[in-house]
Chains A and B, each alone.
Chain A
Amino acid sequence: MKNFFRISFLIALFFGFQFNSNAAEKVEYLKTDWSFKGPFGKFDRAALQRGYQVYQEVCSSCHSMKYLSYRNLVEEGGPEFSVEQAKAIAASFEVKDGPNVDGEMFMRPGRLSDKFVMPYENEKAAQAANGGAYPPDMTVLVKARGGGVDYIYSLLQGYEDPPAGVTLDDGVYYNKYMYGNKIKMSNQLSDGLVEYSDGTNASVEQMAKDVTTFLMWTAEPHLETRHKMGFKAIVYLIILTVLVYFSMKRIWSRIETKV
């Protein structure tokens, strides 16, 4: 058994080692309670729906969501909009389809099977409209940033006047959480910017939290299934390990050597 402590120690070391090597840039991010953290973490359904609303009304004018389909909004473990709601959401977008029998491309209302409509035709168009900066696709954004959800949550609230001595070019803003502190996205959130249909007070903090929760879901749509399955798998493995341990003791008791 002593060896297991040694092995566990090595693994712990390995963990610590990783955390250390990842923590190269030290910024204290704003903290909040994420419902999806921890082994039993789940998404807050209402927060996901509100987050979708923030994404839709604020972010989506510049940021695409290209790996998400409207049908995903209905799926278990997500915002779980009703099929009717999701169909209505999809239908509110114009989707380019075709070519039809005449060889023409045409516009039609969106369906559940469509991918989220992109705000720009292509990356160049997005850059042209945003002073040369490409607003990144948001589908896996929280996984693509070192600080994850805490980083996004902080960034949205991190706009400040630049400290003395820092000069900013036109179209560049100061954000204390941004790498290098200079960001080409202006402050997007202000109190009461959206009107939540469930009556929640739309403070900057609330909107930042809701939209970040939504982005966590878009990046990890199967997070809830993963957590549930992980619990079952690990409980199963532990029970099996205990059984095998006693079988091993029994078998090795035939000879005088201990295991």
Chain B
Amino acid sequence: MSEHEYTPKSKVGKWFNDRLPLLTLANHLTDYPTPKNLNYWWTFGGILTFCLITQIVTGLVLAMHYIAHADMAFQSVEHIMRDVNYGWLIRYIHANGASMFFLAVYIHIFRSLFYGSYKSPREVIWIIGIIIYLLMMAAAFLGYVLPWGQMSFWGATVITNLFSAIPLVGEGIVTWLWGGYSVDNPTLTRFFTLHYLIPFLILGLVVLHIWALHVPGNNNPIGIDIKKPSKDTVPFHPYIVIKDGFALLMFMIVFAFFVFYTPNILGHADNYIEANPLVTPAHIVPEWYLLPFYAILRSVPDKLLGVIAMLSAILILAALPWLDTSKIRSAVFRPLYKQFYWILVADVLILGYVGAMPAEGLYLLIARIATAYYFLHFLVILPVLGFKERTTPVPLSITEPILGGSPNLAAVKKKDSFKDQ
């Protein structure tokens, strides 16, 4: 991968590096040529790494005090909140950390959509990312079950019941998932085990995600291929490290605000009621980050088709590199795509909103239209747009528009409402 051969200066270093090239790796990561026009939307990769590590570390501590048993889980969470030293802090960081993780991942995904980062030659990075996102949703869902509150219990019941939509074997699969004939202690213990496992799978995939990124290198706001290293790039350290650090600190301020001042605002009040199989909550609502998919699920009248629609909504993203037929990556030079992009953002936000509302009347109608549009965007608009759209001229290098003298300069400055490099 490295553009140049690296030899450690010290003898010991050389001896070690010949046997395990860790120093070469460290050198590669330090020198890694990065496009110098990356904007702050590119800092969310680092922020996400921080989120994952925060979740793993706080999760480890919580697991030391948590008891995965239907009769004791709720109580053990209260024990953490009251009697464990700073247990309240660790739990609130973990619970809000999940929301922050999703906030960051959505920004990260939508950044990729705007700048076409999923396109050749970065399809593998993108697909690994989608797998990570799926695993994140699984981890978040499993984790939400662990406090064994009302929403935990009924959320688990609703989601596991989705598998019963599978013809013939559905019921059997649900019983197998539950480890019994209803959500109960065996369900809780296996959910705990899986919740503990998944973050480490994610960690492994994150390594692959970054590895796959380091082969072609970063995309950039103008979406052109650049020579590396060149005048268009800066070494990762210190330039990108300090910039990511700055953005991470801004993110942490928001994070801290949630943890210290509104720690329960993103959760549902019903989850402070201990799970009771005999009482169904008035509205069973998933966490905010799953709401758009929940809306898609409910907008289809048939259960099986609803589940298929929901899964397709996520899996369709994996096919995105081939659905988007445009050769131009960045939306900066795609005036029409840019508009459809913002419509998609609005569409997803609307889906999230109606997902939190009861599935009836006007809400249901809106959910159906928004669901239809979601698929229309990926299956029709994107493929057609690639052929029909008249793109604006793309600069030859990053340096060119910045140094001026190019006819593209004005276009870039005017049209690019998204970047401010």
Contacts and interface: CB of A to CB of B under 8 A. Distances in A.
Contacts of A1: 420
A227 B260 contact: yes
Contact of B254 (A11, A20, A67, A139): A11
Interface string B246-260: 100110111011011
A4 B261 CA distance: 22
B239 A251 contact: yes
A38 to B, nearest CB: 8
A259 B243 contact: yes
A143 interface: yes
B103 A14 contact: yes
A2 to B, nearest CB: 5
A241 B250 contact: yes
A13 interface: yes
B217 interface: no
Contact of A226 (B41, B79, B260, B288): B260
A226 B239 contact: no
A129 interface: no
B249 A20 contact: no
A3 B42 CA distance: 11
Contacts, number: 125
A172 interface: no
A17 B75 CA distance: 32
B400 to A, nearest CB: 13
B272 A230 contact: no
Contact of A21 (B88, B252, B353): B353
Contacts of A24: 283, 356-358
A87 to B, nearest CB: 20
B120 interface: no
Contacts of A11: 103, 254
A67 B78 contact: yes
A193 interface: no
Given A240-B249, A256-B402, A251 B238 contact: yes
Interface string A1-34: 1111001001101100110111010000000000
A4 B39 CA distance: 10
B263 to A, nearest CB: 8
- Secondary structure type dominating chain A contacts: helix
Contact of B88 (A226, A233, A237, A248): A226
Contacts of A83: none
Contacts of A237: 249, 252-253, 256
Contacts of B376: none
- Secondary structure type dominating chain B contacts: helix
Contacts of B252: 237
B260 A230 contact: yes
Interface string A199-234: 000000000000000000001011000110111011
Contacts of A140: 78, 272
B267 to A, nearest CB: 9
Q: Kindly state the interface size class of chain B when it binds its partner.
A: 35 or more
Contacts of B207: none
A152 B52 CA distance: 37
Given A3-B41, A7-B40, A258-B421, A179 B272 contact: no
B352 to A, nearest CB: 7
Interface string B57-92: 000000000000000000100110110000011001
Given A146-B269, A244-B245, A255 B36 contact: yes
A222 B263 CA distance: 12
Contacts of B234: 255, 257
B51 to A, nearest CB: 15
Nearest to A242: B249
A7 B75 CA distance: 38
Nearest to B82: A221
Contacts of A21: 285, 288, 291, 352-353, 356-357
Interface string B286-313: 0010010000000000000000000000
Given A139-B78, A148-B269, 6 more contacts: A3-B41, A226-B89, A237-B252, A241-B250, A244-B249, A257-B37
> 4 shortest A-B CB distances, which residue pairs?
A230-B260, A21-B356, A144-B272, A241-B249
Interface of A: 1-4, 7, 10-11, 13-14, 17-18, 20-22, 24, 39, 67, 72, 136, 139-140, 143-146, 148, 179, 219, 221-222, 226-227, 229-231, 233-234, 237-238, 240-241, 244-245, 247-248, 251-252, 255-259
